[in-house]
Amino acid sequence: MTAKAKFSGPVCPVVELPPELSGQLQGYAVQHCARDIDPSEFADLLSMHTIYAAAAIQLHRAGGTNKEERELELSSLKASLADSERKLFMLSFETHILFASPDDSDPVAETRRSLQLMMRQVDAALQTLKQQPRAPRFDERVREVATELAECFAETLEHFGAPVSRTSDADFDGSSPAVELLERLGSIAGITLSKRTWRDYLSRRSKRPDCG
């Protein structure tokens, strides 16, 4: 399929969490976190991380614009700017004087200079785009978001004094409450992974030197 300049505007993710999630998170905090913490703060922080992950997944799923489409957008924009600048330059004298300003400025000339500046900026943007690497595939982006969610999840649990244990049996799908909760948050964010995979994300994190 031939790529086209989209000019689709920015994507604005809309994330709605299940109404029962806050109560479930507070219940987890009461059961597993330190006794002197505020369960609502725990719930709010994990809800925020889930919203960020869900928004990222929505943006990635929307597809955005790939490198070729962005190049076409910029090229199309430059052509439009050049056409406008050329038309201003070719205005008849009789039309030009209709833009006369009381302060003796020349709006047509000023607009042409602005258009010329914008065309140079478009050229610079095209050069920057050519130097950028290939955008990651959707599945690669999902792994990145899942890794970040697992990191934030583990840090939140540690901050509130909850254990970040991974599983009761590495040979089976039995999982700890932490893995169960992480899978739930991931599912809400639009990340469909097995408990074993979420467990592995937490396991890799726990082996980092700064994680004890």
pLDDT for residue 80? 96
Task: Dump pLDDT digits (tens) for 152-174.
Answer: 999 999 899 988 865 434 445 55
- Tell me: pLDDT of 55 over 80: yes
| Overall average pLDDT of the 61-66 stretch | 68
pLDDT for residue 12? 65
| Overall average pLDDT of the 25-50 stretch | 92
198 is written with which tokens?
Answer: 């979420």
120 is written with which tokens?
Answer: 């140079």
Three-state secondary structure string covering 54-85: HHHHHHHHHCCCCHHHHHHHHHHHHHHHHHHH
pLDDT for residue 7? 64
Q: Which of 51-65, 113-127, 159-173, 180-194 has the lowest mean pLDDT?
A: 159-173
Task: Give the DSSP letter string of the chain.
Answer: ------------------TTHHHHHHHHHHHHS-TTS-HHHHHHHHHHHHHHHHHHHHHHHH----HHHHHHHHHHHHHHHHHHHHHHHT--HHHHGGG--TTS--HHHHHHHHHHHHHHHHHHHHHHHHHSPPPPPHHHHHHHHHHHHHHHHHHHHHHTT------S-TTSS---HHHHHHHHHHHHHT----HHHHHHHHHHHHTSGGG-
| Overall average pLDDT of the 40-59 stretch | 91
Task: Dump pLDDT digits (tens) for 2-19.
Answer: 556 666 665 566 788 899
pLDDT for residue 1? 47
Instruction: Please report which confidence band the pLDDT of residue 23 belongs to, taking 50, 70 and 90 as the band edges.
Output: very high
Percent of the chain with pLDDT over 90: 49
Q: Which of 52-66, 103-117, 182-196 has the lowest mean pLDDT?
A: 52-66
pLDDT for residue 64? 60
Task: Give the DSSP letter string of 124-137.
Answer: HHHHHHHHSPPPPP
Mean of the per-residue pLDDT values for the chain?
84
| Overall average pLDDT of the 102-116 stretch | 91
Q: CB within 8 A of 84, min separation 6: which ones?
A: 115
pLDDT for residue 11? 59
Q: CB within 8 A of 111, min separation 6: which ones?
A: 88
